Amino acid sequence: MNTVPQVNEEIVINKIACPLHVIALKQGLDVINENEVLKVVTGAKNVSQELTSACTAMGHTVKSIEENTITILYVKKTGDR
């Protein structure tokens, strides 16, 4: 994912609230198909780092873009994980 990909679904996760932020991520991924992209708008750098780690652990591809005070993650779903 070299450029900003076409987004199939978008969610916002502003804070880490174990395990709710990961559950919200999984729910977002559940509504898209394999090879589609979920846009995740995060509220803080630590949130984006935590979610990037979770996506990587689940085997998905992540592209991160910082805009002002937020980080946007583009998560390409790989399989049904």
Which pair of tokens denotes residue 3? 């450029």
pLDDT recorded at residue 80:
62
**Between these two residues, 77 and 45, which has the higher pLDDT value?**
77
* CA end-to-end span of the chain: 19
pLDDT band of residue 5 (cuts 50, 70, 90) is confident
pLDDT band of residue 26 (cuts 50, 70, 90) is very high
pLDDT recorded at residue 79:
73
pTM: 0.88
pLDDT recorded at residue 4:
74
Span 21-47, average pLDDT: 94
Instruction: Tell me if residue 72 falls in helix, strand or coil.
Output: strand
Please give the helix or strand (H or E) that residue 54 lies within, else none: helix 45-57
